[in-house]
Structure 1
Amino acid sequence: MRNDVRKLRTEHGWTQVQFAEALGVSRQTVNALETGRYDPSLPLAFRVSTLFSAPIETIFFPDENDAPPTGGKR
């Protein structure tokens, strides 16, 4: 899954530590999100969405390796 977390966080002027504290996660989790090494749980994605006042689908989006939306065959 790809995301715009780093771009949005920097646009808001937040450090990784500040953003992590607002989300209730570690700075390492924020770093893993930003580098694409970690896909957030749905509750965490909602918290990110709320902090940025943006719909989840404008922050997180599938990449070519993700399953199709139907979860079925390609």
Structure 2
Amino acid sequence: MRTRIKEFRARYNLTQEDLANLVGVRRETIVFLEKGKYNPSLKLAHDVANALHSSIDELFLFDEAEADIVEER
């Protein structure tokens, strides 16, 4: 999964720390989300999307090829 969190943060001049404080998580969580190393819960994805005035679909991009690999397992 890829994210556009960093891009949306820049639109609102938010640091990772700012966003973390808005959604109630640690800055490291935002770092991991932006790097695609952490799959958020639905609640966290919703909270991040709300904080960035966007939708979950706009922020979190699910790679179709990755989906095919998961389904094959």
The question of a shared fold, defined as TM-score above 0.5 by the shorter chain, is answered with yes
Distance in 2 between the 1:67 and 1:26 partners? 32
Answer yes or no: is 1:34 the counterpart of 2:41: no
Assess, with a 3 A threshold, how the Cα gap between structure 1 residues 72 and 3 changes in structure 2: closer, same or farther: same
Structure 1: give runs of 5+ residues left out of the alignment.
Answer: none
* AA in 1 matched with 2:39: D
Q: CA deviation at 1:66?
A: 2.6
Identity percentage of aligned residues: 32
Partner of 1:45: 45
TM-score if structure 2 supplies the norm length?
0.85
Q: Which is richer in helix?
A: 2
Structure 2: give runs of 5+ residues left out of the alignment.
Answer: none
* AA in 1 matched with 2:67: D
Partner of 1:21: 21
TM-score if structure 1 supplies the norm length?
0.84
* AA in 1 matched with 2:50: T
